[in-house]
Amino acid sequence: MVGGSPCIDGTRLTCANVAQSLRYESVDEYLRDYPHLTPADIRNCLEYCSRRQCIEDEVINFCQQCTLDTRRDPDPDDSPEEIWLLAETLLMNRKSNTRSRD
């Protein structure tokens, strides 16, 4: 946990950090930036987020910028988003890309 938000074990990377970064770069590019991570770390993080497992786990704080995070007043320049939907989309895209390479 980072500030009570779910993260990849042994890191300070929250599920939101990972999902939002993967919107703009590939998993391979992300792993080059964080060589201590594995593809399984990324997949597990996205699966956790897409299932909204944080609700069941009753985390102390939801990820910043997630619509589940109600700790602060919304900032119009930094609007929250449904990170779990982004994670779900990223997982579906990864699965379809993997199938198309087979």
Q: CA separation (Å) from 18 to 6, 35, 75, 93, 102?
A: 11, 14, 21, 15, 26
pLDDT tens figures, 35-83? 999 999 999 888 888 888 877 777 666 666 776 676 666 566 666 667 7
The confidence band for 102, taking pLDDT boundaries of 50, 70 and 90, is very low
Whole-number pLDDT of residue 1: 56
Is residue 16 within 8 A of residue 3, CB to CB? The reply is no
The confidence band for 85, taking pLDDT boundaries of 50, 70 and 90, is confident
Whole-number pLDDT of residue 36: 94
Mean pLDDT calculated for residue range 85-93:
84
Q: What does the DSSP assignment read for 28-91?
A: HHHHHH-TT--HHHHHHHHHHHHTTHHHHHT-SSPPTTBTT--SS---TTS--B-HHHHHHHHH
pLDDT tens figures, 18-38? 888 998 899 999 999 999 999
Q: Give the integer Cα–Cα distance in Å for 96 and 67.
A: 27
Burial of 89 (0-12, 13-18, 19+ CB in 10 A): middle
